[in-house]
Structure formats: C-alpha cells, structure tokens
Structure 1
Amino acid sequence: MAVQVGLERSNVLSISAASCPCLRSPPFFKALKLPFASTKLSIRLIRMGSDNIFGIPVRILPRHRTVMCVASAESDRMDESGAKEEVIEGYNLLEKEELNLDEQHKASQLKSRVISGLVIGISMGGIILAGGWVFTIGVAAAVFIAAREYFGLVRSDGIAVGMTPPPRYVSRVCSVICALMPLWTLYAGHIDISVTSAAFVVAIALLLQRGNPRFAQLSSAVFGLFYCGYLPCFWVKLRCGLSLPALNTKIGHLWPVLLGGPTHWTVGLVATLLAVSSIIAADTYAFLGGKAFGRTPLINVSPKKTWEGAMAGLAGCVATSVLLSKILCWPKSLPSAVALGFLNFFGSLFGDLTESMIKRDAGVKDSGSLIPGHGGVLDRVDSYIFTGALAYSFVKTFVPLFGV
C-alpha cells in the first residue's frame, strides 16, 4: 500500500495509520524504500507509543520535498532493544545516504563550474585578443542577455510586490537598446548621446502607456539602461578606444604579422587583459580565502561573503595586477599597477554586491540558469559592470601622470 509522506525538518517523522489501512495492524513495519533523487533509501519505521502511529528517524535531507513511501509489513513484533537498534541503524543509513547525495551534488556542480569556466575563459580570451567588432559584438550579446535577466528580476514577485515594474514591451525595448549601445560606442566613439536618447524614448513610452504611469517604472527602466547598457560600453572604449601601441610590451614584437603584428598590441588590449585577469584573480582568491579562513560576515546583502575572503581577494587582485604589469611592461609605474589593482577589486566587489542586492529583493538565488554551475549571465558579468568604467577613467586620467 503506497503512503504519501512529507519529509519534515525533524529527527522523527510521524505517520498516521489512518492514511493507510496496512498500518492499522499490530505488526511492525520494518522496510521502507524511498525513491529520492535517483537513489533508493532503505530506512526503518519505529513505533511511536501507539499501534496507530509510527515514525521514521530522519536526518535533515537535502531538497526538502514530498516523496512516495512504500511500507511492507513484517509479522514479527520487535522488543524495545530491537527498536532502538533499528533506530540507530536508520540514522546511520540516512546519514550515509545524505552524505553521498551531498558529495555527488557538489562534485557534479564543481565539474559543471570548471567546464563552464574554462569554456567562458577561453572564449573571452579569444574575443579580447580579436578586438574591434568581434569584441564589441561579444559585449553586445552578453549585455542583451544580462539586460533580459535584469528586467526578469525587476518583474519577479519579490520586487514587484513593492514596486510597479515596467511593462513587458518596455523591458524588451530597453534590452535591445542596451545591446545596441556598445555597437554605437564603437561606431561613433562616444556613448553620451545614445544614453540620453534612450532614456528619453523610454520616458515617452512609459508616459504614453495605458493606465497610470508610475515613477517606479521609470526609475527601474532607466537604471537598467545605465546598469546593463551604459556601464558595459566602457569596456569597448577601453579595449578599442585606446589604440596607442604598447611599444614596451615584448610579446607584441613576437606577435605574428598575420594576426596584426606588433601594432595589434595596443594600450587598450594590454589594459583590458590586465583588468580582466585581476578581476578573475579577485573572485578566485576571495572564494578560496573565504572557504579556508572565512569567519566574519562582510555585509548582510551577501551573507556568504566574509572579511577574510575579501582581504584574500584584494591581495590576489593587486598581486596579479603588479605581476602582469611586469610581464606586459605596462604600466611602467608600480604605484599605477597597485592603484589599478585596488580599483579593479573594489569595482568587482561592489558590482557583485549590487547584483546580490537586486537578487535578494527579487527573492532568487541566481539571475538565470543559462550557464551550468554558474547561474545566469548577469551572475557572471556582475563583477565587470562597474570595473570597465573605473579602469578606463583611471587609464585616461591618472596613468599618464606617472607615465605609460
């Protein structure tokens, strides 16, 4: 007889005999098999002081859900000592099964993260080296998907309860405008006109919609244009706008002529490689440092982040920036390399925290599920959103003071 049982967060799960005629007879029901996440758990049923109430010794299982349990009757009665042995055996078996499931899930997730990370890293490296329209189209594609995920978060139940989201057609138009901004930046060389024009168009669309326009709709839409469209355009200006040859970079002299020769290695390419590498180092060292030494929470917006992990990320980011500045011979000044490392770290950290704040209000863990093991595109690029603008401004304004 099949009995539907809900696994609860308690040590013993009670089952009423009224839900199944087979539980009303005196014999103790010993074997219970649970199909759970493609693994069958054989656990024991114990008497709860009455012939009509039985219990399952339960550890807190992952993926709290309702499962179907099948009970098989056994004719012999168990004495008190036998019941205790069954309880202990049930606990041990459940603990082993839970550990196995956790290890399998973590191993599968880690494998997916590593494979996805390698694919993204290799693809990103090739796009950065290519530069020009290849780089710009890559940025535009990432921006479009990230914008769709952002407006999906804005329209989620968690945020929409306290804030009226923009209409769907406005969200879609904003996503397209965000994707066009990097292309316009490369073509025209600036982004000021595109942002102001886009904000004006969105404001008109919201004001002319049916019903009562709300300020929350305008603010979330304009912030989406700024967050997902305007800020990523600085990566195009950094990579493609700084076309001065990096004459001191020795690897440029060995670069094949078919791939552009020494002139391919510009200040923009070197600065982009340095910025992206230091951001990756910041995320990696922060994760490893937090896992190994994390004790003190950093901020309530992201409970898993710790001060120890942040310090490890800062050290790794600055060290990577200085090391690559020596290898690429840019920037020549050590203070410039250290300052750029600090900027990249704080830009990546607060970019990550900003997205965490949005997801926290939306009540979701990830912005999407496009990248296996990583979540959505916005989850992967959040560290880069503010950093491009900071790196470009620093290279254009402060690095020349120390010499490039």
Structure 2
Amino acid sequence: MSSTSSSSMATPSYCGKIDARRATNTSQLLSISVASSACNCHFRPFPSKTLVSCLSSTKLGLNFFDAPNGRGYLQINNGRFRIRYKSPNILERTLLAKTDANLIDDEDPVEVIKDHGSSKTDADLEKQQKSSQLSKRVVFGLGIGITAGGVVLTGGWVFSVAVAAAVFAGSREYFELVRSHGIASGMTPPPLYVSRACSVICALMPLITLYKGQIDVSVASAAFVVAMALLLQRGNPRFSQLSSTIFGLFYCGYLPSFWVKLRCRLLAPALNTGVGATWPILLGGQAHWTVGLVATLISISSIIAADTFAFVGGKAFGRIPLTSISPKKTWEGAIAGLAGCIATSVLLSKIFSWPTSNLSAIGFGLLNFFASLFGDLLESMIKRDAGVKDSGSLIPGHGGILDRVDSYIFTGALAYAFVRNLLPLYGV
C-alpha cells in the first residue's frame, strides 16, 4: 500500500493497490486499486506492500488506525494482515475494495466519499453498483430486443447481414478466449492471422447460406485452407491449434448460419396465421408470414422466456446447484425456465396458428429449452477455462456478444431440423 504526499495547505490524498492471489492459479496475482480523500492529514511515502487473499472473490475492508506514538498501521477487517507505517495525526479511514478472480486487468479505483468522519458503507456501495448495473441491463436489453425484433420481421439480406455482424463479433471474442491466459497456458493457440481470417470466414457463412442455401462444401473448403495454413506455419504446429480453430469455424460460423436457413429458406406460407391477414401490403402482405418467420419468432421468444423464468425462479426458489460449470444455475431455476419456455411456445402457437398440433408446440418448446440451456453451459465452460467472467465488454451491462447469444447458437440448427424434418408439411 503506497501513499502520496501533499502540501499542508492542500487536501492530500492516498491510494493503494492490492494484489489478490487467484484460487485457480496461485502463481498469478490480480491487481485492484482503491482510492480515497483524506481530511487535513499528512502522509509520508513508504514502500509498496502486497496483501494476499486466499479467496477467489472477497471484499476487503481496510482501516487506517492512529497510534499514540505516531506509528499507525493498516489492517484488513479480519485482522490477519497488517502493514505498519509512520504518519502523524492519522484519523480512522475506511477503504472498501472488491476483487474478483474472473477479472484479469486492474479495476478502476473505487472512490470512497469521506466528509469529516462519515464514509459510504459497503452495503451502500454494493447497492449503488447493483442499481447502476441493472439500469444498464434494462436499457440496452430493451434496445437490443426492439432492434432484433425489427430485423427478424424484415428478414432477407437485412437479417443475414445482422447475423453475419454478430457472428464476426462473436468469433473475435471466441478466439480472444482461446488466446487468454487460462486456456493458452495449457495449449498452443492459433496464430493471430489465422484467428482473424477465421473470423472473416465465419462472417461470410450466413451470407453464403442466404444465396446458396447450403454451406457444407464452403465449410469443408474453409477447414481445409485453415488446416493447411496451420501446418505450413513457421515453428512447430500443434494439434491444439487445429482443434480450437476448426471448432471455432463450427461453433461461431456454421451453427449460427442455420438461423438464416430457418428464417429465410423456409418459405412455405403460414396460411392460418391471423396476423398475416392484417399485415400491410406494402410490407409484403400475408405472403410475408412464412413458416420460417413464425418458427423464428416462436423460437427466439421461447428462449427469452426460458432465460427470464429461469432467472426469476432461481432467485426465488433456487437451492440445488444444477452443475459445477455454472454454479449460479439451479435445478429450481431450470424447471421454471422449462415451464416458461413450453408455455410461451404453446401460447404463440395459438396466436400464429402454427404449428397446428399442441404436441408439436410442446415438442418445439422442449427442444428450444434444452438447446438454449446446453448452449449457455458450453459458453460458460469456455469462459471458466479462460478464467474470465464475460466473453467481452461490447454491450454495457451484458458483457460480450457471446454472453448474449450463447443460448441461440445450437438452437437455430435444431429448430431448423425439427421444422424441416419432423413436422409434416412444416407444421402447416
């Protein structure tokens, strides 16, 4: 913990840095910074120190104490660590800092408001942080939902370009995870130029799907080119490079392209849909409401309902952990999510008159739930191995693209197979 000196006329300040040892890898330290203002007191510089926490995530309460002889000390709230220092007239100061094992870079300084002996409590800071985080999630969530709804209704090249943009951003995040400390420490990541080339290839797959209908040959050709590039690189090629790259092409490019096949390639009209009868002619009329559009809307809505019901049910009744991959998920939340997903699928099937069978609607809801759940768990496994909390920071309050679309990656392919192969006449 280091301090900075200041003149006697000005209000000095002090700041410090805490290194918290990661539970998953004791050789790595996570650094966080704390800062506060001091009232009418002087500091003398002293050497930096390190405080080590054995917990992967903990809140540290730091207290400055004055001593009669002018020799004070800095103490953590549990009293197990102390750093002594010399400084006259030190009033009690409280610094609150939070360290998270999922964060790699230094956090921004946590400002502690000090006004002649009164400071914000830990509960106040945590409440303010949660409120700010929730407001961000709500604002950006609504914006994303409204925009995505308009894109799905428009369809065609607009929908395909939107999917391609999301695929490009998601693939960049995926390869950053592959190159992160947690994963790269146990394997050799692909070269940077290969990762960037794969991101471009993944972004082209939805567009190829729109105009060609099939991308199997394109994916196989892209995999061959990438494999050759890895084998011919300088140095010693590793199998881990090939496996992580080929999986990236499959996970980030091939699977999301099925959403284009579902929305834009299933052109059979949903004739019984009452919404289509009142749809404006300028926007395509009744012919605009195809099986692909209705199936896409039901699938996406079911996934949103599953996530919402699972979150609410887990918060209210969650007791039994679902899996160690994602400790916050519970069996109670999963059951609530399953019920919400099936209910939404059945309700929308009544509104759109598709599929015509209640059994088919229930089956469609079951498929959407399990596909979204295991897509979420797969991305959680990747992030856990990478040692990060979020795949990125592109969306304020939500993390990265992969954090928002992980539930949809497998769902598009399974929904397309269900409608195309299992429902007679596409469920019409």
- Using structure 1 for the length normalisation, give the TM-score: 0.81
Distance (whole Å) between structure 1 residues aligned to residue 88 and residue 394 of structure 2: 40
Q: Is the 8 A contact 1:3 1:71 kept in 2?
A: no
Distance 2:87 2:284 in 1: 69
2:279 pairs, out of 239, 242, 255, with: 255
1:327 maps onto 2:351 in alignment: yes
Q: Please, which of 395, 412, 416 is the counterpart of residue 392 of structure 1? A: 416
Quick one: distance in 2 between partners of 1:21 and 1:331? Answer: 75
The 5 Å alignment of 1:3-402 reads: 45=65, 52-54=71-73, 58=77, 72-73=89-90, 97-400=121-424
Q: Which amino acid aligns with 2:297?
A: L
Kindly tell me the number of residue pairs found equivalent between the two proteins.
Answer: 353
Q: Tell me by how many angstroms 1:3 deviates.
A: 6.3
Amino acid at match of 1:238: L
Other-structure match for 2:58: none
Determine the C-alpha separation between the residues in 2 that align with 1:71 and 1:342.
68
CA shift at 1:221, angstroms?
0.3
Distance 2:396 2:43 in 1: 42
Distance in 2 between the 1:263 and 1:106 partners?
46
Measured against aligned partners, the alpha-carbon deviations of 1:368-392 in whole angstroms (never above 9, x if no partner) come to 0000100000110100000001100
Deviation of the 1:400 alpha carbon: 1.1
User: Aligned partners of 1:72, 1:7: CA distance in 2, in Å?
Assistant: 24
Do 1:3 and 1:69's aligned partners in 2 also have CA atoms closer than 8 Å?
Answer: no
**Alpha carbons of structure 1 residues 158 and 57: separation in structure 2 relative to 1, 3 Å:** closer
- Following superposition, the deviation at residue 46 of structure 1 comes to 5.8
CA separation in 2, counterparts of 1:196 and 1:351? Answer: 23
Instruction: After TM superposition, give the deviation of residue 194 of structure 1 in Å.
Output: 1.2
Q: How far apart, CA to CA, are the structure 2 residues paired with 1:228 and 1:142?
A: 9
Residues 316-344 of structure 1: per-residue CA shift (max 9 Å, x gap): 10110000000111001001000110100
Cα gap change, 1:73 to 1:213, in 2 (>3 Å): closer
Shift of the alpha carbon at 1:54?
4.0
Q: Deviations over 1:169-223 (max 9, x none)?
A: 0000100000000000111111111110110110111111111111100000000
Distance 1:126 1:22, change over 3 A: closer
Unpaired runs of at least 5, structure 2: 6-12, 21-41, 47-60, 92-116
Alignment-mate amino acid for residue 45 of structure 1 = F
Shift of 1:45: 2.7
Q: Which amino acid aligns with 1:162?
A: G
Considering fraction of residues, name the structure with more helix.
Answer: 1
Aligned partners of 1:177 and 1:198 also within 8 Å: yes
Q: How far off is 1:53 after superposition?
A: 4.6
- Range 267-276 or range 296-305, more displaced: 296-305
- Structure 1 gap ranges (5+): 10-18, 24-40, 61-65, 75-91
CA separation in 2, counterparts of 1:275 and 1:262?
21
Check whether the contact 1:333–1:402 (CA below 8 A) recurs between aligned residues.
no
Larger deviation: 96-105 or 202-211? Answer: 96-105
Q: How high is the TM-score relative to the length of structure 2?
A: 0.77
Write the letter of the residue equivalent to 2:420.
K
1:130-174 alpha-carbon deviations (Å, 9 max, x no partner): 000000000000000000000000000110011110000000010
The alpha-carbon distance between structure 1 residues 283 and 70, as it changes in their structure 2 partners (threshold 3 A), is farther
Residues 339 and 71 of structure 1: CA distance in aligned 2, closer, same or farther (over 3 Å): farther
1:97 CA displacement: 1.5
Conservation of the 8 A alpha-carbon contact between 1:43 and 1:93? no
Q: What is the rounded CA distance, in whole Å, between the counterparts of 1:108 and 1:325 in structure 2?
A: 37
Cα deviation 1:5-25 (Å, max 9, x = unaligned): 66799xxxxxxxxx96799xx
Distance (Å, rounded) in 2 between the aligned partners of 1:330 and 1:70:
76
Inter-partner Cα distance in structure 2 for 1:213 and 1:142: 30
Match of 2:114 in 1: none
Give the Cα–Cα distance (whole angstroms) in 1 for the partners of residues 415 and 45 of structure 2.
Answer: 71
User: Deviation string for 1:70-96 (max 9, x for gaps)?
Assistant: 97458xxxxxxxxxxxxxxxxx967x6
RMSD (Å), alpha carbons: 2.9
1:82 aligned partner: none
Identity of aligned residues (%): 65
